[in-house]
Amino acid sequence: MKFFDKTLRIQTNKSIEILNITSQISQLVQESEIEKGTTIVYSPHTTTALIINENEPGLVKDIEGAIKDLIPWGKIYAHNAIDNNAASHIVSSFLGNSLNLIISKGNLELGTWQSIFFVELDGSRPRKVLVRIVGE
């Protein structure tokens, strides 16, 4: 059993932004030389998320729009008394901050229409994504 750990560094540029990180994750799977295993993709932040969906520009815009509509961003939240970003934390907790992926024959098992996206919910900021690949 092999373990391969890497940290991706991402600079986001908008308050809400969906970034396709599929090629970076695939690159790490190649680097790991692990043929059969799993990948954990994890964001160690409380105002970001990770999702898998289709990389169609209209849909990515629609998901950004849905995130804005998901909860009332202008509401008065208790957390805003110390840090004006409660809505970002709430959406992050709804979407989730880790993904588990399967590696077979040295490649990610993604469906034809699936891509991996990092979701910024309180940008712009420097962010990290931790990747652990386990297998043989």
Interface residues with Zn ion (CB under 5 A) are 83, 85
Q: What is the rounded CA–CA span in Å between residue 12 and residue 91?
A: 17
Q: How far is the CB of 46 from Zn ion (least distance, A)?
A: 7
Q: Is 132 exposed, middle or buried (0-12, 13-18, 19+ CB in 10 A)?
A: middle
Measured from the CB atom, the residue of 29 and 121 that comes closer to Zn ion is: 121
Measured from the CB atom, the residue of 39 and 85 that comes closer to Zn ion is: 85
**Tokens 């990290």 belong to which residue?**
128
Q: How far is the CB of 56 from Zn ion (least distance, A)?
A: 32
Q: How far is the CB of 89 from Zn ion (least distance, A)?
A: 5
Measured from the CB atom, the residue of 2 and 128 that comes closer to Zn ion is: 128
Q: What is the rounded CA–CA span in Å between residue 72 and residue 48?
A: 17
